[in-house]
């Protein structure tokens, strides 16, 4: 499987994002929460977005760094979703109040993706 996270795999549609928060289901594994919703359109890939709340991290530098780490952790572990037939819209939300390192975030992402696979 391709280990890139290209433009076609990023969730950008405001309509899909609002629908995701209205109708989506969620899985938690501290410090990350995953909100997901099956896509009904002709998407070929899972679409992923990443969020770090301003309430927890006031500086944009900190928020952007955590988002980069989340994207990297997802990119290296998205092979865990390879068996899923239907594409999903995925939103990863950072819940922690302190900064975690990349290995800690990778473990959390792996656990969340395994929980997600078991639920669906």
- Beta-carbon contacts of 21 under 8 Å, excluding residues fewer than 6 positions away, are 35, 91
Which pLDDT belongs to residue 3?
84
7-119 domain in CATH 3.30.230.10?
yes
- Dmax (CA) of the chain: 39
Q: At what angle do helices 102-119 and 60-77 cross, to 10 degrees?
A: 50
Q: What is the DSSP string of 63-116?
A: HHHHHHHHHHHHHHHGGGGTT-SS-EEEEEEE--SSPPPHHHHHHHHHHHHHHH
The model's pLDDT over 12-22, given as tens digits with 9 standing for 90+, comes to 999 999 999 99
Taking only the tens place, the pLDDT of each residue in 53-109 is 999 999 999 999 999 999 999 999 999 998 888 999 999 999 999 999 999 999 999
The residue whose two tokens read 């499987």 is 1
């Amino acid at each position: 499987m391709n280990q890139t996270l290209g433009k076609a795999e990023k969730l950008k549609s405001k309509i899909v994002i609002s629908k995701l928060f209205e109708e989506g289901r969620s899985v938690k594994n501290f410090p990350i929460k995953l909100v997901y919703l099956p896509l009904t359109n002709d998407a070929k890939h899972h679409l992923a977005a990443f969020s770090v709340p301003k309430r927890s991290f006031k500086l944009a530098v900190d928020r952007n760094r955590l988002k980069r780490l989340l994207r990297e952790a997802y990119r290296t572990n998205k092979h865990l979703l390879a068996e899923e037939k239907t594409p999903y819209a995925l939103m990863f939300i950072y819940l922690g109040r302190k900064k975690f390192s990349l290995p800690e975030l990778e473990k959390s992402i792996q656990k969340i993706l395994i929980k997600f696979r078991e639920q669906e």
